[in-house]
Amino acid sequence: MGGLSIWHILIIAIILLLLFGGNRFSSMMGDVAKGLKSFKQGMADDEDDKYRKYDEQRRNEPPRQLPREDRRDPIDVTPRPSEPVVSPPPTRDDEPR
């Protein structure tokens, strides 16, 4: 109800084929395919232009520098030689855990 079944689509296709003829219908579908192909090619060209403009803009910009107060020295995590390294005493087998 309300949807097109395979029979409806088949009848519509036969009527279109009779109205336009096989050759004309084939040439129209070829024109549609050419249009889609040129549309896809145009979209790809637009994206290539965007990428090219972005790369040129990025190359022309000077490198971004952090403000002076945000620059910090790297954190030094090496142990200092003046601090003794304390390791826990080994556990004995006869002690309860």
User: What does the pLDDT look like over 68-82, one tens digit per residue?
Assistant: 665 566 777 777 777
What amino acid occupies position 67?
P
- Please provide the size of the chain in residues: 97
21: left (phi over 0), alpha (psi -120 to 50) or beta: left
- Could you read off the pLDDT of 18-72 as tens digits, one per residue? 887 777 777 888 888 999 999 888 888 888 888 888 888 888 877 777 666 655 6
pTM for this one? Answer: 0.35
